[in-house]
Amino acid sequence: MKFTKMEGIGNDYIYINNLSQQIKNPGALAKRLSDRHFGIGSDGLILVEPSDQADFKMVMYNSDGSQGKMCGNGIRCFSKFIHDQHLSTSTSLMIETLSGLRNVTLDFKEGRVLGATVDMGIPIIDPLQIPLAINIEPLDYELTLEGRTYRCSFVSMGNPHCVIFADTIDTLDLAHIGPLFENHPLFPESINTEFITVLDRQNITMRVWERGSGETLACGTGACASAYIANTLGKVDHHVTVHLKGGSLSIALDPITRHIRMSGPATTVFTGELEGEYNGAY
């Protein structure tokens, strides 16, 4: 079984062409392969599968084996993988995800795919669709954890996000704080949590704790959620650069259609083959 390791500003996944085979237990495979000591090392596993409503279907699993719905960095790399593996010659792809259809336009330089622009759709702020366990004000809610109160804003970009403004994010103990949010009963499907600092009208810095993966170097849907919340609250303009540990993403919010477009790089790290206990065991 051949695989490709790819990353989008440090958000790394293992990609496998699953069009003509059937992986029996992809969640278990994702957990084994994502281990950075005993496996390949990644934030998760992404499979290319056939779709009856789009060009291809993206099926993703987090590093803990749980299934994810959508990944902004992952879908850019997914589209590059399709082109590089000669699965399609189109420069624009419609991709099916568990969060719905996403249109991706590949970005080329000298014939090589260096990145992509993704129409991430319209943000969802209905509390019960995010989903939150109770019907509350999603843009300004005070949540108390271990005696400290956080002012939170909630939105879904196909997966749920909690955005928190902070004066500084460098010293946050995210390994301790992140699981408190992820596993809070307010979030029936758990939550991705972004701590952000607004630098100016066009720039945001961000750290993220992703459900099922822990702190990652980048999160595309989290960058979109952060830009949307900051814009809705009047803190930034409609075009924002979000700076993450792994790099930067360009986020554009259409004031008329309300769609969000995300642009960023997609990079192949290496390719290989699974052998021994991995090959055919899942």
In a domain, 71, yes or no: yes
Residue appearing with tokens 């000591």: 37
Tell me whether residue 152 is one of the annotated catalytic residues: no
Give the domain range for residue 90. 2-119+266-273
* List of the chain residues with pLDDT < 50: none
User: Based on the domain organization, do 221 and 145 belong to the same domain?
Assistant: yes
Residues 77, 152, 162, 219: which is the catalytic one? Answer: 219
In a domain, 130, yes or no: no
**Amino acid 29: pLDDT:** 95
User: Based on the domain organization, do 21 and 83 belong to the same domain?
Assistant: yes
User: Based on the domain organization, do 104 and 175 belong to the same domain?
Assistant: no
DSSP collapsed to 3 states, 158-187: CCEEEEEECCCCCCCCHHHHHHHHHCCCCC
Tell me how many domains the chain contains. Answer: 2
Question: Which CATH number covers residue 56?
Answer: 3.10.310.10
User: Based on the domain organization, do 114 and 171 belong to the same domain?
Assistant: no
pLDDT tens sequence across 51-100 = 999 999 999 999 999 999 999 999 999 999 999 999 999 999 999 999 99
User: Based on the domain organization, do 157 and 115 belong to the same domain?
Assistant: no
Q: How many CB atoms lie within 10 A of CB 91?
A: 14
Contact 249, 239 (CB under 8 A): no
In a domain, 278, yes or no: no
User: Based on the domain organization, do 108 and 38 belong to the same domain?
Assistant: yes
User: Based on the domain organization, do 39 and 74 belong to the same domain?
Assistant: yes
pLDDT tens sequence across 72-84 = 999 999 999 999 9
Tell me whether residue 219 is one of the annotated catalytic residues: yes
User: Based on the domain organization, do 98 and 157 belong to the same domain?
Assistant: no
Q: Give CA–CA dist 244/111, Å, rounded.
A: 28
User: Based on the domain organization, do 49 and 80 belong to the same domain?
Assistant: yes
